[in-house]
Structure 1
Amino acid sequence: MTTSPAIAVRNLQKAYQDLAVLRGVDFEVAAGSVFALLGANGAGKTTVVRVLATLLKADAGTAVVNGFDVGTQPAKVRESISLTGQFAAVDEILTGRENLVLVARLRHLEGPGAIADRLLERFSLTDAGRRRVSTYSGGMRRRLDLAMSLIGSPPVIVLDEPTTGLDPQARLEVWQAVRELAEHGTTVLLTTQYLDEAEQLADRIAILHEGRIIVNGTLAELKQLLPPATVEYVEKQTTLEDVFLAVVGRTSEDHR
């Protein structure tokens, strides 16, 4: 017995006048997995996302999300997904809880207050829930944005470069939130230009280059594309990220 993929893309093509952005993109995302679409700026990642979210029409090819064709069943696709862009789409004047309640009401869900409280707890925002979002850190805003994307329990979450512009500590907070999404069975399509982000989070990684998928596989499979590394024993050097997180953590403890 086989399970249909949550996302299936076949020969996706898109051009802007004479500029071909997507040149025949193919990939599948298994249900309940984290799939990273890795590529440099301009590789076509956001164009793929916009097509999957029914915000842009492809010139050729097909894309199916949660069993629905993006070209012929766009309303069903939009009911199946939640899209989180590069910048948190939160209202800074409202509190974190009010943002969540607002979205729940817009989706005509029962018990919006209870829904908000559950999501605040799930994303470790309960203590900050009654504060205005304008006081939140970048990582807190992104976690709130992810919480808002889960209202209505969409089976597919699309994260378009979710850690762009975040500091190292905030990135780690977002990574943990993405891991928790997958643990709860949500399918996550993650676009990123950060290699370490794909390595840390993804079950499968596809590299998009000049509008085409050039490799697609698990991290272990991709590593097999290179010759075996020569084993050398060297002293581990402390990285700047190690220092940053250690100092920030110690300072936070001193102020408790």
Structure 2
Amino acid sequence: ELLERFDLLDAADRPTKGYSGGMQRRLDLALSLVALPRVLFLDEPTTGLDPRSRLGMWDVMRELVSVGTTLLLTTQYLEEADELADEIVVIDHGKVIAAGTARELKNRVGGDVVQFEVVERSRLGEAAEAVKSLSESELVIDDESGKVSLWVGKNGSHALVETVRRLDSLEIQTEGLGVRRPSLDDVFLALTGHGAEESSASSPTSRRRAGRRH
């Protein structure tokens, strides 16, 4: 039953040393479920899985919780934490920087996020300087992608219009300009200045934060 649930039935007679990374992860979780545990630690269980297998793993974790198993899950995929976790602890370079429910963490950022990408990278700093007074906290600049993110509270519509006006007056071309609700990725970015998947990278981050001009 477990082999079928984790899509390993066809490989059941093969030596496990020939399994792919994703198959190994599915097998590890299947083995941990032979005896239904009360507490289960899962260390990045969906890393290396294709989207279909990843969603299947989410379903299995939900089933375990529904029958009373407590899961302690580590993941670099913040949408996974948002989808599955009742309580979230955010860790950056080994230090706890925030904790709470997904809603509580998003409320720390608060309101709407205006984001855009500067087409001409040499004008990224100029674009950020033009709009940073619209942000209620430090805006985040991603030098690699050319993206700028502003946290604008409840003033999303006004901030979006004003961002368009200011950038247009400088003839700065952008892509993907829009306003949206914050995600856990935004929370992590606001707290650290870099994405969650970069927190363990050895190379310096290409993101930086710029303070609001008063």
Given the two structures, how large is their TM-score scaled by the length of structure 2?
0.45
Greater Rg by CA: 2
Instruction: Answer 1 or 2: higher relative contact order, Cα 8 Å, separation at least 6.
Output: 1
Structure richer in helix, relative to its length? 2
